[in-house]
Amino acid sequence: MGFTRAELESFRDAVVPDLIGPGCRLLFVGINPGLWTAATGAHFARPGNRFYPALLRAGIITRPIDPGAGMTPDDRQHLLDRGVGITNLAPRATARADELTTDELRAGVTRLAAVVAEFTPRVVAVAGITAYRTAFGRRKAVAGLQEETIDGVPLWVVPNPSGLNAHDTVDSLATAYAEPARRAGIPVSLSGP
């Protein structure tokens, strides 16, 4: 599936629903939906995004998911059955995360707290250190487990899986994602199935 630039632009400011269900153990938090995600309705859908390959390599999911053309109901259910949920700090789609304002990212913390209160995941993992620092007002934060929690739920900062984050590989992302998954009680294998 491909989109023209004009087709993608037509999804600017669209909102992609969260993918969370009862029994969520590990809640991944993206920065905001990209235009490809908005066009397909599937989180982390842009071709080249390493989110799902890293989840598979870590053993967090047990079969490949390719959301580039959208996510199948079976794919959604597999994530939910594994206890994985996905939300965003800012709900509106943009071409680049740097199009968001500081106020939008900070408002995302309040939104995230409401999601955590509703679904009570065991662990929250924010994908992106720069967005985390801005949203949470922690200029010197480093990746990994944070001192603060969200309503008592442990908070991790993990690398953003975007292809723009070139210094991380599927392997390094898998390693980073496995830590909060273990803490959330999701079996991991780091080699994939």
110-120 pLDDT tens trace: 999 999 999 99
Confidence band for 162, pLDDT divided at 50, 70 and 90: confident
Greater model confidence, 84 or 162: 84
Q: What is the pLDDT of residue 47?
A: 87
The three-state secondary structure class of 77 is helix
Q: What is the pLDDT of residue 54?
A: 97
Q: What is the pLDDT of residue 153?
A: 98
| pLDDT at 128 > cutoff 80 | yes
Span 16-23, average pLDDT = 96
Q: What is the pLDDT of residue 191?
A: 62
- pLDDT per residue over 31-89, tens digit each? 999 999 999 999 999 988 999 999 999 999 999 999 988 899 999 999 999 999 999 99
Q: What is the pLDDT of residue 34?
A: 95
Confidence band for 2, pLDDT divided at 50, 70 and 90: confident
Q: What is the pLDDT of residue 4?
A: 92
Amino acid identity at 63: R
Q: What is the pLDDT of residue 124?
A: 98
Burial 14-26 (b: 16+ CB within 10 A, else e): bebebbbeeebbb
Task: Give me the architecture of the 5-183 domain, per CATH.
Answer: 3-Layer(aba) Sandwich (3.40)
Read off φ and ψ for residue 112, nearest 5 degrees. -60, -40
| pLDDT at 10 > cutoff 60 | yes
Contact 60, 82 (CB under 8 A): yes
Span 166-171, average pLDDT = 88
Span 154-170, average pLDDT = 88
Q: What is the pLDDT of residue 1?
A: 64
Structure tokens that stand for 165 in this block: 């984050």
Structure tokens that stand for 9 in this block: 């632009």
